Amino acid sequence: MNCTEVRENLPALAYGELAATIRGAVESHLVSCLACRQELAAMERIRGALDTIVAPSVQIDVPRLFQDAAARQARRVRRWRRTALAVFGIAASLMLALLLRLQVRVEANQLTIRWAGVSIEEKNHAATPVERVVAPRDPAELAALEERVRFLDELLHALITDVGDRDDRQTERVARLRVRVEELLGQNSRRLSETERNVAAVVTALSHVPGKGEKP
Amino acid sequence: VSPTASPESASEQRELKQHVAAALADLPEPQRLALILRHYEGMSFEEIARLTGTPASTLKSRFAAALNFLRVRLRHLDPTEEHRP
């Protein structure tokens, strides 16, 4: 590992976040490299300086960050749902096409199964012109087909409703979690200000008590 | 801070606090975010990455840049730091 790579990893090392696999390499480099050791020491001094203040006066809007993260997650879920619906739609269309193009015809002495107008029977007589059957002629067959299309349509709608319900439940859950996070953050800041008040009170009390060696 | 801290070191401490707060306020926003969430909020770089949607490697670079910024700004208060031109 060279100095550049080591220095990229120093922040994570300083906070004990470095993966054990890299830590060994970084630490062995530090043993042999004075410049990188000095860099780490300087970083530690800056961290010490940061510790002189409890919390910076410049605040970060953490609840807003959580909200943004939740919004990003929601967008990802929506994208996934749209893809799933699109895939389902394509599958349904293919099934419909299959049902419409597959033709089964029962005649006096033969059973003809056709796929897009090319029958198995006709394959034996390549020279014979292909007879095209556009739609089933039998009204009963037509009704059965319509029934199947209706069924598929209902199925599709039921699935869409189900996906919608799940989405609503998920949204509610996210909203509840968000409220909880905000509560916790509120509690946290209340506790912090309470601690700060207590510390201030203790400091004030101590500064008013004269030391043993001091004269009143 | 030792219990027998002299008034000078107390005033030095106050001065350091003021400089740290001022330097933090001057940090560019992305660097300040990385620094405050890591150092003061105690979040790991991975957690910050999930929260902000920024890669952890970018956050580490921003954090290092923030520390370098502070190091330059606080150099005059650090007796161990070399005074480079």
In angstroms, rounded to a whole number, what is the distance separating the alpha carbons of residues A16 and A23? 9
Chain B residues closer than 8 Å to A9 by CB: 60
Q: What percent of chain A has pLDDT over 90?
A: 13
B17-46 confidence digits (pLDDT tens): 888 888 888 999 899 989 988 998 888 999
pTM metric for this prediction: 0.49
ipTM: 0.79
The pLDDT of residue B51: 85
Q: Which residues of B touch A11 (CB under 8 A)?
A: 38, 45, 60, 63-64, 67
pLDDT of A1: 82
Answer whether A206 touches B (CB < 8 Å): no
Nearest to B24 among A8, A41, A58 (CB): A58
Residues of chain A with C-beta less than 8 angstroms from the C-beta of B52: 65, 68-69
Q: In this complex, do A55 and B40 lie within 8 Å of one another by their Cβ atoms?
A: yes
Where does residue B42 rank: exposed (0-12), middle (13-18), buried (19+ CB within 10 A)? exposed
Q: How far is A212 from chain B (nearest CA, A)?
A: 13
State the residue for tokens 């089964």.
Answer: A104
What distance in Å separates the CA atoms of residue A81 and residue A87, rounded to the nearest whole number?
A: 10
Per-residue pLDDT of chain A (216 residues; tens, 9 = 90+): 889 989 888 888 988 888 888 999 999 999 999 999 999 998 898 888 888 887 665 566 777 777 788 888 888 888 888 889 899 888 888 888 777 777 666 676 777 777 665 555 544 555 555 555 555 567 888 888 888 888 888 888 889 888 889 999 999 999 999 898 888 888 888 888 888 888 888 888 877 766 555 554
